Amino acid sequence: MKIVCSMFYILSLILLCLAITNCSQTLPLNQNYVPVTIATNPKVNTFPDSLNIGAENYSGAFIVVKGSGLEKIIKLGSSRRMTYTVESLYPSSEVISEIKDKLSKAGWVPLKEDFMNPGLPSSYVRGWDIYIDKDHVPATKVHEWKSGWKNDKNEIVRYKLKHEYPVTTDNIMNILNVQAEYYPAFIVEKMTSQTNKNK
């Protein structure tokens, strides 16, 4: 009885191997197959730009200061927004100086007025704004610095630096949130035309 069972088991294995062999021989080969490589840990600031606006680094608009955390760039229609945090004590003069210097070397010129709000002086002129944000729970005290730059291509980059902490605490303002928005020339032209119409 044991011999019969053993022979049946061996015969089953042989039939299974033959079936697998026949399948592998009869399966058609897809000549159009293209292997796909999935990137691991991609760099967030080198995504494809189907609109081909600006240079690879957006005409040098995005400045990542020394000691900052991982930057993130997101797509906002035809514009781009970069955000990161950096340890820096208020009023963060060294961070502002580094951004100013690097933008200047890349050919960017500071705007004395907020291009989204003509007539309103930029922080490049008036310095930091301080206000209470009651939309947060609990409310927060905000120190904010906003300014724009323009280059000879008529592109604009707008920086917003922010220290924020709950009004109920006496926090040391040592964490700075940095946000930069890049606008290509055709978007700047549209926004400027719309602003002039609303005057």
pLDDT at 180 over 90: yes
CA 146 to chain CA mean position, Å: 18
pLDDT at 14 over 60: no
Please tell me which of 3-7, 53-57, 139-143, 170-174 the model is most confident about, judged by mean pLDDT: 139-143
pLDDT band of residue 199 (cuts 50, 70, 90) is low
Mind listing the pLDDT tens digit for each residue in 22-70?
Answer: 433 433 333 332 332 222 333 333 333 333 333 356 889 999 999 988 7
Computed on alpha carbons and rounded to an integer, the radius of gyration of the chain in Å comes to 29
Question: What pLDDT, on a 0 to 100 scale, did the predictor assign at position 136?
Answer: 86
Mind listing the pLDDT tens digit for each residue in 131-160?
Answer: 999 998 889 999 999 999 999 999 999 999
Q: Which two tokens stand for residue 124?
A: 């490049």
Question: What pLDDT, on a 0 to 100 scale, did the predictor assign at position 24?
Answer: 38
Q: What structural domains does the chain harbor?
A: 72-197 (3.40.1000)
Question: What pLDDT, on a 0 to 100 scale, did the predictor assign at position 57?
Answer: 63
**Is-contact 45 82, C-beta < 8 A?**
yes
Instruction: Name the nearest CA neighbour of 156 among 148, 166, 167.
Output: 148
Question: What pLDDT, on a 0 to 100 scale, did the predictor assign at position 30?
Answer: 36
Kindly provide the residue ranges of all beta strands, DSSP E only, lying in the chain, ordered along the sequence: 72-76, 79-87, 109-110, 113-114, 117-121, 129-133, 140-150, 156-166, 175-183
Predicted TM-score (pTM) of this structure: 0.70
Characterize 70-102 residue by residue with b for buried, 16 or more Cβ atoms within 10 angstroms of its Cβ, and e for exposed: ebebeeeeebbbbbbebebeebbeebbebbbee
Mind listing the pLDDT tens digit for each residue in 86-140?
Answer: 999 999 999 999 999 999 999 999 999 998 888 999 999 999 999 999 998 889 9
Question: What pLDDT, on a 0 to 100 scale, did the predictor assign at position 137?
Answer: 87
Burial class (CB in 10 A: 0-12, 13-18, 19+), 45: middle
**What angle (nearest 5°) sits at the alpha carbon of residue 84, between those of residues 82 and 87?**
150
